[in-house]
């Protein structure tokens, strides 16, 4: 393995209670899409529509974690993780959604007033049934991705946009902002309910996770590019972060560009949203160079009237290429993002998702059950990003966890099985979805990375310990139940 040794100055940087492990999502790993009374989700419907998924696959079987959950738990114990972040499926717990299925029939998340009571009802069921064991709740995962991919670009469920060559319905200029507004308000009502009715006895916490990559000026000396980069961060991150942690309202840069297309919080909603998330859940993968655009923004723009580029004015590429078109290894941007979030919001950070694909993994086949996929690219990715976590922790930034994406290769939404993010390799062609260890989760990697930053001095490599449960209450892109009059699938 060609990995470089760690900087000894960061040894022992992480606190004793630091949580590390992996994340998954129900729709991406469980399979069993119509088993044991599960209802049909919007992703079930979307994936069964020809042309919507890159490789034509569906999540019907995914990687069979619904049936193989005991096997997966044993793999997690073998990996010595101290936390596992997974999701609960709304369409599995309440198969037909709300009492009259208003989420889709009456507009889904486009109708805040109809949707929110159903989401609160679902959350209550989860708190009542699982709250004695689940102590870390997340309402929504990766806020912004659902609304932009599903309602701006239309490439994710439910597949709405202004682009009629792709989607029959939708308005990319308004719907993403309406849906995200619903997400924030419904999260706030659930968080308020949890804190008042369940937290005193269950002693847990509740938060939301936000998507966001670092935006770096294309020309660091150009004030217009500097402003464009900050505006891009606000459109991507502060869109949710400012209402939750800073002001109870959207950034002024968004209001200036979007005007009345950006919904307004009522005074009651603003009060509920601000402070509703106890921690900052951070999903981030990469960084981009950002250049300002001249002239007015396009009506469907959701980036802040900027260009996002792979190289800067000097011709420097942002980082080594993975096997996914948008993802390059950029620990330099990750470091800046951690500091930006801390300086702007000042709340403890849970790194809830971070990881990479690696070129060539689709061609690899194991020679036996004990064969290990050598993946130095992923090892170096984890090591470089975790090094920045340790350095930030030394500076006083409070970082509580690191969850790698992902535990196993899985069904990656519209990319299907074409993107392999897993630290556990999956044979997608096998009936039982055979699991194989990748070197990035081999014990050598554990020792190299986590002992290098002083973690394994707290948790010896051979020690058995409990795995903390970090449950996502609801993954918005997958588990919004469909109406009763669903088409034949």
The residue written with tokens 């793999």 in the block is 75
Portion of the chain with pLDDT greater than 70, in percent = 85
Between the alpha carbon of residue 245 and those of residues 209, 340, 435, 475, the distances in Å are 12, 13, 40, 21
Q: Please check whether residue 221 lies inside any domain of the structure.
A: no
Instruction: Please tell me the distance from the alpha carbon of residue 89 to that of residue 130, in angstroms, as a whole number.
Output: 13
Q: Decide if pLDDT at 383 tops 80.
A: yes
pLDDT category of residue 123 using cuts at 50, 70 and 90: very high
What is the edge-to-edge ordering of all strands in the sheet holding 306-309?
Answer: 214-217, 287-292, 306-309
pLDDT digits (tens, 9 = 90+) for 97-117: 543 333 343 568 999 999 999
8 A C-beta contact, residue 401 and residue 446: no
In this predicted structure, the answer to whether residue 473 has a pLDDT above a threshold of 80 is no
The more confidently predicted of residues 321 and 369 is 321
The pLDDT, as a whole number, for residue 471 is 54
Name the residues annotated as catalytic: 142, 353
For residue 390, what are the contacts with CB-CB under 8 A and spacing of at least 6? 10, 13, 14, 453
CATH number, residue 241: 3.20.20.80
> What is the number of structural domains in the chain?
1
Confidence band, pLDDT 50/70/90 cuts, at residue 461: very low
Cβ(194)–Cβ(205) below 8 Å: no
Residue 482 has pLDDT above 50, yes or no: no
pLDDT for residue 77: 84
Between 209 and 424, the higher pLDDT residue: 209
Structure tokens at 312: 């800067």
Residues whose CB falls within 8 Å of the CB of residue 396, separated by 6 or more in sequence, listed in order: none
Does residue 466 sit within a domain? yes
Query: Is pTM, for the whole model, over 0.85?
Result: yes
Which residue, 214, 223, 221, 212, is CA-closest to 292?
Answer: 223
* Under 8 Å between Cβ of 461 and 447: yes
Query: For 163-185, how does the pLDDT look when each residue is reduced to its tens digit (9 = 90+)?
Result: 999 999 999 999 999 999 999 99
Q: Mapping DSSP to helix (H, G, I), strand (E, B) and coil, where does residue 307 land?
A: strand
For residues 279-290, average pLDDT: 98
Give Cα 3 distance to the centre of its chain.
27
DSSP label of 10: G
In the predicted model, what is the mean pLDDT of the chain? 87
User: CB-based contacts of 480: which residues, under 8 Å, 6+ apart?
Assistant: 41, 42, 90, 91, 97, 103, 104, 108, 109, 158
pLDDT band at 214 (very low <50, low <70, confident <90, very high): very high
Answer yes or no: is 308 within a domain.
no
How far apart are the C-alpha atoms of 24 and 16, rounded to whole Å?
24
**pLDDT at residue 364 in the model:** 81
In a domain, 298, yes or no: no
Q: Is residue 231 part of a domain?
A: yes
Helical axes 112-130 vs 175-193, angle rounded to 10°: 40
- Cα separation values, 316 from 160, 190, 313, Å: 36, 45, 7
The pLDDT, as a whole number, for residue 460 is: 38
- What distance in Å separates the CA atoms of residue 403 and residue 424, rounded to the nearest whole number? 14
Residue 304 within a domain: no
The pLDDT of residue 1 is 40
Q: Quick one: CA dihedral 31, 323, 172, 288, positive or negative?
A: positive
Stretch 189-211: mean pLDDT: 97
What pLDDT is stored for residue 396 in this prediction? 96
Using alpha carbons only, give the angle 183, 189, 190 rounded to the nearest 5 degrees: 85
Range of the domain at 233: 8-212+227-284+333-472
What's the CA gap between 152 and 173, in Å, rounded? 7
11: pLDDT strictly greater than 60 = yes
CA Rg value for the chain:
22
Q: Using the structure block, give the residue that is written with the tokens 């464009």.
A: 228
Give the C-alpha separation, 26 to 317, whole Å: 35
How many CB atoms sit inside 10 A of residue 246's CB? 16
In a domain, 1, yes or no: no
Residue 468: pLDDT above 70?
no
- In the block, tokens 């519209």 appear at 414
Residue 160 in any domain: the answer is yes
Contact 456, 7 (CB under 8 A): no
Q: How do residues 32-90 score in pLDDT, each as one tens digit?
A: 999 999 988 899 999 999 999 999 999 999 999 999 999 999 888 888 888 899 999 99
Neighbours of 256 (CB within 10 A): 10
Angstrom distances, CA of residue 184 to CA of 178, 194, 478? 10, 15, 17
Q: Which two tokens stand for residue 81?
A: 């993780």
pLDDT of 438 higher than 80: no
Task: Give the span between the Cα atoms of 440 and 445, in whole angstroms.
Answer: 6
Of 80, 56, 63, 78, the C-alpha closest to 24 is: 63
Residue 65 has a pLDDT of 96
Task: Measure the CA dihedral 440/445/446/448, to 10°.
Answer: -150
Region 360-386: mean pLDDT is 82
pLDDT tens readout for residues 124-152: 999 999 999 899 999 999 989 999 999 99
pLDDT on residue 150: 95
Neighbours of 365 (CB within 10 A): 10
| Residue 46 and residue 81 in contact, taking contact as beta carbons nearer than 8 Å | no
Q: What is the model's pLDDT at position 14?
A: 86
Q: In 273-362, at which residue ranges do the beta strands (DSSP E only) sit?
A: 280-283, 287-292, 306-309, 349-354
pLDDT higher than threshold 80 for residue 465: no
pLDDT of residue 3: 57
Task: Give the Å distances, CA to CA, from 434 to 60, 272, 459, 482.
Answer: 17, 46, 29, 31
């Amino acid at each position: 393995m060609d990995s470089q040794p760690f900087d000894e100055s960061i040894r022992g940087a992480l606190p004793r209670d630091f949580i590390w492990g992996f994340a998954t999502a129900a729709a991406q790993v469980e399979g069993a899409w119509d088993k044991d009374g599960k209802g049909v989700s919007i992703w079930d419907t979307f994936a069964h529509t020809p042309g919507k998924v890159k490789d034509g696959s569906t999540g019907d079987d995914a990687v069979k974690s619904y049936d193989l959950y005991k096997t997966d738990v044993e793999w997690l114990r073998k990996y010595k993780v101290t936390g596992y972040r997974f999701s609960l499926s709304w369409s599995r717990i309440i198969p037909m959604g709300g009492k009259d299925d208003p989420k889709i029939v009456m507009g889904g998340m486009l109708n805040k007033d109809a949707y929110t009571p159903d989401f609160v009802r679902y959350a209550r069921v989860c708190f009542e049934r699982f709250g004695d064991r689940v102590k870390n709740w997340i309402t929504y995962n990766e806020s912004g991705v659902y609304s932009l991919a599903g309602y701006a670009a239309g490439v994710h469920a439910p597949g709405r946009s202004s682009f009629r060559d792709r989607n029959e319905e939708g308005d990319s200029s308004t719907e993403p902002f309406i849906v995200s507004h619903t997400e924030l308000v419904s999260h706030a009502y659930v968080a308020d309910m949890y804190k008042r009715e369940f937290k005193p006895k269950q002693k847990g916490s509740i938060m939301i996770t936000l998507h966001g990559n670092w935006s770096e000026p294309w020309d660091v000396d150009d004030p217009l590019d500097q402003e464009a980069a900050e505006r891009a961060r606000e459109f991507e991150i502060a869109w949710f972060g400012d209402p939750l942690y800073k002001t109870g309202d959207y950034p002024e840069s968004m209001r200036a560009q979007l005007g009345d297309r950006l919904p307004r919080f009522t005074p009651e909603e603003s009060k509920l949203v601000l402070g509703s998330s106890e921690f900052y859940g951070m999903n981030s993968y990469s960084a981009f160079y950002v250049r300002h655009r001249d002239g007015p923004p396009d009506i469907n723009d959701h980036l802040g009237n900027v260009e996002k580029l792979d190289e800067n004015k000097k011709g420097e590429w942002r980082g080594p290429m993975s096997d996914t078109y948008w993802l390059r290894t950029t620990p330099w941007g990750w470091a800046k993002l951690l500091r930006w979030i801390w300086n702007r919001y000042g709340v403890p950070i849970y790194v809830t998702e971070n990881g990479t694909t690696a070129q060539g993994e689709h061609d690899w086949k194991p020679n036996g059950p004990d064969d290990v996929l050598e993946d130095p690219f992923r090892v170096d990715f984890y090591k470089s990003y975790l090094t920045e976590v340790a350095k930030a922790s030394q500076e006083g930034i409070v970082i509580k966890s690191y969850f790698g994406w992902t535990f196993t290769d899985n069904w990656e939404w519209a990319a299907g099985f074409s993107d392999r993010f897993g630290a556990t390799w999956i044979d997608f062609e096998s009936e039982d979805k055979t699991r194989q260890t990748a070197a990035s989760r081999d014990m050598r990697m554990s020792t190299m990375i986590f002992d290098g930053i002083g973690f394994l001095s707290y948790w010896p490599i051979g020690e058995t310990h409990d795995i903390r449960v970090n449950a996502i209450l609801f993954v918005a892109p997958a588990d919004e139940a469909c109406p009763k009059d669903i088409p034949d699938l």
